[in-house]
Amino acid sequence: MKGQGAMNPEMIDGFFTAMNCGPETVLPSEYMLVIFGEANFDSQQQAEVVLRTLIRHWNVIVSMLSEDMAFLAFFQEHADGVVYGNDWAKGFLMGMGIRHKNVPDPALRTSSAPKSAADREELLDAIESAVPAIYQYFEPHRQAYAENIIRRAAIIGPGKVKMLLANAGVVKSINIVAVQNN
């Protein structure tokens, strides 16, 4: 890939986690440009590999959250050997900001002082325990969102509804039949 502005894997993990935890479905058409910025792929093959990898990672996050598995965030170790988690947090805030513009500004942090290794470890552990709680908190909202899609099935059509339900993280199986408008 060439160009600037593309997210790194840690940031993508936080970004995808936020969008899976939130109350509404965010479609790939809304977030792909955010992930890639001004970057361009070197070839069609590279684009396909990257997109398949992103979809696979999205599905891993969905599985961890929807199947009550332990949530493990992806934190990158930096050149100095330290795992900061800052890029994950930036990605998470960006993901929440896709639909909700009142997300706290990271510049408003109460402390910009560097964290000790113990404090940083505690914060990273807190992320991994807080994410499932956030996911559970918004579960009723995602269900209501999915039910609203089902009510509009006659307008959209069954194939589109199935896709939106899958993107909404709705776990239960729903059989959708074609609805004819009279």
Domains of the chain: 9-139 (1.20.120.740)
Cross-strand bridge partners of residue 154: none
Mean pLDDT (whole number) for 10-15: 96
Virtual CA dihedral for 68, 89, 8, 75, nearest 10 degrees?
-60
20, 98 contact by CB (below 8 A):
no
Instruction: Quote the percentage of the chain above a pLDDT of 90.
Output: 31
Q: Three-class SS of residue 2?
A: strand
pLDDT top residue among 76 and 110: 76
What is this structure's pTM? 0.75
Greater confidence (125 vs 114) lies with 125
Q: What does the pLDDT average to over 102-129?
A: 76
The residues, any chain, with a CB within 8 Å of residue 16's CB and separated by 6 or more, are 57, 58, 61, 91, 95
Identity of the amino acid at 107: A
Measure Cα distances from 154 to 27, 91, 117, 159 in Å: 20, 36, 55, 11
Whether 166 has a pLDDT exceeding 60, the answer reads no
